[in-house]
Amino acid sequence: MPTDALSLTLAALADPTRRAILSRLALGETSVAELGKPFDITPPAVTKHLKVLQRAGLITQTRQAQYRPCRINPKPLKEVSVWIEAYRRLWEQRLDRLEDYLQKLQEKEAR
Amino acid sequence: MPTDALSLTLAALADPTRRAILSRLALGETSVAELGKPFDITPPAVTKHLKVLQRAGLITQTRQAQYRPCRINPKPLKEVSVWIEAYRRLWEQRLDRLEDYLQKLQEKEAR
């Protein structure tokens, strides 16, 4: 079981139904029944997915669970973006070093 | 078990050791033994993590597994970025609509 926040977020997003539920919630709050319709899944199955999203901090469940199930919270997704950007920087630095090396090799050839 | 490519990528990234292995590989290819050192895990445990990363298409294992275990492949991460961006757009559109609504409300008050 992942325990750090970023792992929890990534694990919660690693399901097409949960990502679709999240995208639907980004359009506005809706009922649990409404959320289940496009996937033909039961309200208890929707509730299970919502709990995973909630544990990851991606949504916040409100008191009136039947009618206004949850609000989305973009903060954990921001953390995923930050990690991917950091990784991309590492990858670009590596390509830069490779280019430097190739250039030095070409300069050596030219001499 | 997730079956779509994006879910596989997200599930593979939902582990701090696997993310660290990937970041280390972004700096250059290295041995399985070297990859395990910072986490004090055995080569078989590293190999298991590499298999998960490979199944998600995040790395490509080479023939000489002992010395040059794998190359990183940035394509699946690009797909994660694309999804997050699409989601962010949805979220921003929602905020825009809320702003429009508030502005109309204020105009109505002013009249």
How far does B11 lie from chain A, in Å, by closest CA? 5
DSSP secondary structure code for residue B71 in this structure: E
- Whether residue A7 contacts residue B16, with contact meaning beta carbons closer than 8 Å, is answered with yes
- Burial code (b: 16+ CB inside 10 Å, e: under 16) for B59-69 equals beeeeeeeeeb
First to last CA, chain B: 58
- Whether residue B15 contacts residue A2, with contact meaning beta carbons closer than 8 Å, is answered with yes
Contact residues on chain B for A10, CB-CB shorter than 8 A? 10-11, 13-14
When CB atoms are compared, the residue of A6, A81, A90 closest to B26 is A90
pLDDT per residue over A37-82, tens digit each?
A: 888 888 899 999 999 999 999 998 766 555 555 778 878 888 888 8
- Which pTM was predicted? 0.78
On whether ipTM exceeds 0.85, the answer is no
CA–CA separation, B29 and B26 (whole Å): 8
